[in-house]
Structure 1
């Protein structure tokens, strides 16, 4: 445990629980939501509250890691056999949960309220937007926990405005890849007998398509002739079957008013139901506004400007009490087994020498991208610790697509690859309340919901243009979601926003200093109370909540490397990549010549079980021992290890915050959702990392690794992120912003009758 966590732990002494002090916490059943929710539970328990965790049977947390809590399973829905393997099914799963769990959740809460202890308030993730109605019916205060940054939340909340500014296109989903233009509702212009090959659209609003810098003549010159006429209406979200086209629209242009976000940084969702996705987002925002308060796993100093915006837009109370994980050492909540050998591996490396690479628990990449990552790491010549989650490479189980002897011959021991790395700190050289696991910046960001039937088309839209008012965000940075029901997805997003507005408060896993401007906007738009009490994980060492077994050998491997010499590579628990991408990653790592620890989750490579597509002898002959590959790793321990010098990540908010907390600069490979704007803030605003702008290509990977791990630019990134680390430590101490916000949150909850 580091000294800051020790100091915090001495303050967070457990108080006796009083009658009527029970809090019911309901996490979304995904790794990135379970972790901060259980961290928050530990924090609140230390303040004298008794805790009941209400959970689905799907991805259920392990009660044995938390004997101090009560656990109650929601009956009849979401059993443990459900599989969420794509972005599409995630959105559908959210709808399923909110629909099917409404009555069971209401019944569970009703029973708990009749017990002697009662229920003081309900704390849920924003995606549980239907629970606001449950809370209203039961007259139970609800608090929202946001798992994003304040900044990202604001991006989502601003979606209607950004849509009207022309950053999103709304289309009708037709059979057989239809293409055409809506000029207005009465005047449809068809591009008959043509299919789009490449095209860049700059401005679209909700009821008409306006093409700037591209005439219809130019448009026609960029299409190839086909048998059938094609048409499309203006659209808000991206359809899956056109996804590869629009993903290329990675505009470098800044989003006006959201600088430094670029258009390409806006959150993206790929869906077959864009309208449904938009409704879902709206529900989440509305639910947040209705909450009594919002708890944030962030801290004031990180998001000071965002906090000012938050207070204007969301009149709830906001409590920034993060980083949660820094409060104290608690049981792991990892849903994956953590590989503790990564810490011993880090112990062998010099301070600040290792790049830690991890893309979270949801990201999936192509095999080609995986190989580009690998070769980028290899060619960088830097030590790296790479988390490759089994199943995260599309078409592969784990590392089978790596060249034979990649770690042994190419990387030459510089980079181990793990399945999971322990999410824990290590003293090494490396009223209805919503809880948000994203930065509050997300709520102001517009987003792209991708329809499945148009997905490959929209995937090419990677515009470099900045989003006006959201600089430094580019069009390509807007959040993206892939769905077969765009309208449904839009409704879902709207419900989430509405649910947030109705909450009594919102809890954020962020800190004031990181998102100060965003917080100011948040307070304007969301009249709830907002509590930025993060980073959650820094309060104390938590029990593992990983869904995958963590490979602890990654730690012993790190122990053998110099400080700051290893690149840690991990793309999270959900990411899936193609075999070609996997190989590009592998060769990028190999060519970098830097040590790496690579987490390759079995099943994350499409078409492969694990590492079978790697060239024979990749680790032995090509990497020559520089690389170490595991199925999962104890991530917080890896990032805290002195040998870890860089983190190649998918930029989920938890991973981004954990990297900041340990002073580790980042290489960013965002995939969907809030990962894109998070990455842009890391690279362009905070300047503590670099973004791989062109996906997984071994040459770009190699260059990025060298920039972060070797060049002067990387040293400057390191200095800046170390300054942020110091800010985190201060915000959690007595008198700090997150410490004070946590006290305000406790008083706020105790004020409920």
Structure 2
């Protein structure tokens, strides 16, 4: 019997697309989701990936996977920006050699192989212009929100205007050119090599301007104002807001960590809209003091909670050793802790009524798609921008600011989960969820943008 997904897959069109994700969970997820979308439209899919954080090819039997060396020795000892610097320095030659082999195989076996239409690459790769050597068009996948990206791209401008580096006395001041942001909402680019930030941003912008288009994991109704500025800044480069990617159809898991399905069984026993889900994603780290403040804020709220404590989340702590003995018992059994959860399933579960999040773009979008209001505790990069939009533009969540303190966390949870303010947010995010459903339907904005993207790739 034909499945729903199989019924939506177009016949093969004889064209192949090569995808090159950045090896972080928040970048791998949308790239592989995009691969599934394009596969459903008839394209063959090849994935070039690093050995670091290599995706599980078994979950994508219809894709071809090719691994390249990445030059990383001990990634666990480095921050994400330092890893990015190393990857961009070490991966260019292996990537070029792999790309040359793939293109050569196609050229030499025209009857057997699909012709390569284009390369789709993560926006943080700086060297993928080497595809020009093979006359291969490059399309950029943006894994940030449009608003978040525009703020990162403006870093040199923000520096010239004196907004960055951020000084405490001005942190509450508005960024006049980028409302509703304040100085403290400007993305943090923290690394041991701060002098690398501006060349990195410059390389990102130049690569995009030299590309054949940009794909965004967003939809027009959510970021219409920000999207409207793109044609001015990137004149002549087509823009394809085809998101949310994960809502096209149920796709294989691209999680780098094992997902604990017991979290779903636990949620099955909870009342509707009663549980606050807590997860800070795959990269963010907190210290032991902050961890304990979160723990007591959750317990004192007297709201049931599902808490993802990723190994490595707490600096210097393996997993739960920092929790007081008998913590879950002290929380009267209202809490459940796992190392990693199937987040899309969790957010879609009827028991979940709120999400305490680091405000990564994937998490933000997934929460909007399921109509779950948020408490935002951003940590780095574009997360500050996302949190500001959640709380002050879309008004579907609260923004925790300053130090993590148990009383503030407890109060925020009760505001979101128990009080009338939270119900108003729930009603607003339910309207956004309806926009998601509409944009993906026949004739919707994302459906139309996907059609344009398919035609664009076939034109190469």
Q: Count residues with an aligned counterpart.
A: 451
Deviations 1:110-156 (A, max 9, x none): 12112233311000001112102x02222110000000111111112
Deviations 1:464-495 (A, max 9, x none): xxxxxxxxxxxxxxxxxxxxxxxxxxxxxxxx
Aligned partner of 2:70 among 68, 72, 77: 77
* Maintained 8 Å contact 2:103/2:134: no
**Superposed displacement of residue 161, structure 1:** 2.1
Aligned partner of 1:626 among 319, 334, 339: 334
Q: Distance in 1 between matches of 2:90 and 2:311?
A: 31
Q: Distance in 2 between matches of 1:614 and 1:157?
A: 40
**Superposed displacement of residue 557, structure 1:** 0.6
Q: 2:241 — aligned with what?
A: 532
User: Equivalent residue of 2:276, what SS?
Assistant: strand
Q: Distance in 2 between matches of 1:575 and 1:271?
A: 14
Aligned partner of 2:201 among 265, 273, 281: 281
Q: Distance in 2 between matches of 1:312 and 1:732?
A: 26
Deviations 1:668-689 (A, max 9, x none): 0100100111001000111000
* Maintained 8 Å contact 2:285/2:313: yes
- Counterpart check, 1:666 vs 2:374: yes
Q: Which runs of 4 or more aligned residues in structure 1 lie more than 6 Å from their structure 2 counterparts after TM superposition? A: none
Aligned partner of 1:168 among 160, 164, 169: 164
Q: Distance in 2 between matches of 1:681 and 1:18?
A: 40
**Superposed displacement of residue 303, structure 1:** 0.7
Aligned partner of 2:361 among 636, 639, 653: 653
Aligned partner of 2:91 among 85, 101, 104: 101
**Superposed displacement of residue 86, structure 1:** 4.7
Aligned partner of 1:577 among 286, 289, 306: 286
Change (3 A) 1:529 1:542: same
> What are the residue-to-residue correspondences of 1:455-534 with 2, within 5 Å?
527-534=236-243
User: Equivalent residue of 1:161, what SS?
Assistant: helix
* Maintained 8 Å contact 2:82/2:191: no
Q: Distance in 2 between matches of 1:648 and 1:311?
A: 35
* Maintained 8 Å contact 1:85/1:574: no
Tell me which structure has the larger Cα radius of gyration: 1
Change (3 A) 1:53 1:298: same
- Counterpart check, 1:267 vs 2:260: no
* Maintained 8 Å contact 2:281/2:358: yes
* Maintained 8 Å contact 2:75/2:83: no
Aligned partner of 1:640 among 341, 348, 352: 348
Q: 1:15 — aligned with what?
A: 10
- Counterpart check, 1:564 vs 2:273: yes
Aligned partner of 1:736 among 444, 452, 456: 444
Q: 2:119 — aligned with what?
A: 122
- Counterpart check, 1:709 vs 2:400: no
**Superposed displacement of residue 252, structure 1:** 2.8
* Maintained 8 Å contact 1:58/1:82: no
**Superposed displacement of residue 603, structure 1:** 2.3
Change (3 A) 1:570 1:200: closer
**Superposed displacement of residue 263, structure 1:** 1.6
* Maintained 8 Å contact 1:23/1:122: yes
* Unaligned runs of at least 5 residues, structure 1: 1-5, 171-198, 203-250, 316-526
**Superposed displacement of residue 579, structure 1:** 1.0
* Maintained 8 Å contact 2:17/2:46: yes
Q: Distance in 1 between matches of 2:434 and 2:333?
A: 34
> What are the residue-to-residue correspondences of 1:61-76 with 2, within 5 Å?
61-74=55-68, 76=69
Aligned partner of 1:139 among 135, 141, 146: 135
Change (3 A) 1:86 1:107: closer
* Maintained 8 Å contact 1:668/1:679: yes
**Superposed displacement of residue 616, structure 1:** 1.5
Deviates further, 694-703 or 648-657:
694-703
User: Equivalent residue of 2:325, what SS?
Assistant: coil
**Superposed displacement of residue 169, structure 1:** 3.5
Deviations 1:297-344 (A, max 9, x none): 1001111111110111112xxxxxxxxxxxxxxxxxxxxxxxxxxxxx
Deviations 1:573-612 (A, max 9, x none): 1122111111100000011000000000122212222111
* Unaligned runs of at least 5 residues, structure 2: none
TM-score normalized by the length of structure 1:
0.58
User: Equivalent residue of 1:268, what SS?
Assistant: coil
Q: Distance in 1 between matches of 2:317 and 2:55?
A: 28
Deviations 1:15-73 (A, max 9, x none): 22233x01000000010011100000000001010000000111111111000111011
**Superposed displacement of residue 78, structure 1:** 4.1
Q: Distance in 2 between matches of 1:58 and 1:748?
A: 32
* Maintained 8 Å contact 2:82/2:193: no
Q: Distance in 2 between matches of 1:53 and 1:670?
A: 31
Q: 1:196 — aligned with what?
A: none
Q: Distance in 1 between matches of 2:409 and 2:437?
A: 32
* Maintained 8 Å contact 1:568/1:644: yes
Q: Distance in 1 between matches of 2:440 and 2:76?
A: 35
Q: 1:512 — aligned with what?
A: none
Greater share of residues in strand:
1
* Maintained 8 Å contact 2:155/2:201: no
**Superposed displacement of residue 547, structure 1:** 1.1
User: Equivalent residue of 1:291, what SS?
Assistant: coil
Deviations 1:616-647 (A, max 9, x none): 21101x10110001111010000000100000
TM-score normalized by the length of structure 2:
0.95
